């Protein structure tokens, strides 16, 4: 694809994002500009942070796994989040703890466990896609079973509070946490941007990357750490959204068929923000809050994932 075509599509997507943000921020404010901008601005900041982290981490994860089907969430990260949240509430729920301390514990535990989990799943050079998916589902079932066991033993009042944490919500985001993670997010994005040329080489395959002088094992662990930190921050802020990264990444590959990750990163991030902003606008003003953004994304993403899996399976059999 020529550079002019790439820039044209990026500019068009950027214009759509700006128009959607303008619509989301100004529609039906009824003159209460300060209140509307404050309330919606908090959501918009969360959209930008989640969109950046989700898109960058998913594109990178699919590159090092050499598969457009695998994402951290599909391999059981959301179930791991539920287990960590349940464990923290089980042991610290009745103790008054500062939100930032709980947030730090949540992110730290998820990063440690997810690095171990992903490292275990991807430790071999060649992997079977369906075997990885099966292992991810088995681990997810195990995590959910342990979470359910702890929830049964939990105090009913604490269990009620816990339920509000287990579903993605952009309406109850703690602004202080958003401001706290902004420097971390900027650092993560810069690191992804710096290593993007090395990720470009991985499109050639692992053997070619080794021949070109890349320490594949060390680079994988570094990328896995960045991915785990990105998904942990995103999930701890707003809750699990399983299929957002999968949808955004695969649509990006179809619209922008290039190998350079810097283009893929920018396009997927803009697309992710566009989906979140327009999705929240539809939920608030079209569906009148009768559903949630996470439900819409999970349903559409699940259907898209099954369709893509079956279609690719059919091509392989042919």
Q: How far apart, in Å, are the Cα atoms of 101 and each of 1, 53, 86, 98, 157?
A: 47, 21, 16, 5, 21
Structural domain including 78 reads: 36-311
pTM, to two decimals: 0.85
How far does CA 10 lie from the centroid of its chain? Answer: 21
Count of domains for the chain: 1
pLDDT attached to residue 185: 93
pLDDT attached to residue 27: 81
Residue 193 lies in a domain: yes
pLDDT attached to residue 18: 93
Residue 295 lies in a domain: yes
What is the C-alpha to C-alpha distance for residues 103 and 119, in angstroms, rounded to an integer?
24
Residue 59 lies in a domain: yes
Residue 19 lies in a domain: no
Angle in degrees, CA 96, 98, 100, rounded to 5? 150
Query: 286 in helix, strand or coil?
Result: coil
Residue 157 lies in a domain: yes
**CATH number of domain containing 106:** 1.10.3470.10
- Residues (pLDDT < 50) of the chain are 125-126
Which residue is listed with tokens 């901008």? Answer: 37
């Amino acid at each position: 694809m020529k550079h002019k075509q790439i820039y044209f599509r990026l500019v068009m997507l950027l214009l759509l994002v700006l128009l959607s943000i303008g619509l989301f921020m100004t529609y039906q404010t009824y003159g209460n500009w300060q209140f509307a901008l404050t309330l919606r601005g908090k959501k918009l900041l969360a959209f930008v942070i989640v969109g950046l982290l989700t898109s960058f981490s998913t594109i990178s994860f699919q590159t090092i796994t050499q598969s457009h089907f695998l994402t951290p969430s599909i391999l059981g990260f959301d179930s791991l989040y539920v287990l960590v949240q349940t464990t923290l509430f089980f042991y610290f729920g009745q103790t008054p703890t500062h939100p930032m301390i709980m947030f730090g514990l949540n992110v730290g535990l998820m990063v440690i466990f997810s690095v171990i989990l992903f490292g275990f799943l991807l430790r071999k050079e060649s992997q079977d896609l369906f075997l990885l998916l099966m292992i991810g589902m088995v681990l997810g079932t195990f995590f959910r079973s342990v979470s359910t066991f702890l929830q049964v033993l939990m105090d009913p009042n604490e269990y009620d509070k816990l339920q509000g944490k287990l579903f993605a919500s952009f309406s109850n985001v703690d602004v202080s946490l958003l401001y706290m993670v902004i420097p971390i997010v900027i650092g993560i994005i810069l690191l992804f941007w710096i290593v993007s040329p090395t990720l470009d080489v991985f499109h050639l395959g692992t053997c070619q990357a080794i021949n070109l002088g890349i320490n594949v094992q060390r680079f994988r662990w570094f990328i896995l750490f960045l991915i785990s930190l990105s998904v942990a921050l995103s999930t701890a802020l707003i809750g699990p959204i399983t299929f957002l990264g999968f949808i955004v990444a695969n649509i990006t590959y179809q619209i922008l068929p290039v190998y350079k990750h810097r283009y893929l990163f920018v396009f997927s991030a803009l697309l992710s923000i566009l989906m979140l902003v327009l999705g929240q606008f539809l939920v608030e003003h079209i569906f009148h809050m009768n559903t949630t953004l996470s439900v819409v994304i999970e349903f559409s993403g699940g259907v898209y994932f099954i369709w893509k899996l079956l279609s690719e399976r059919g091509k392989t059999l042919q």
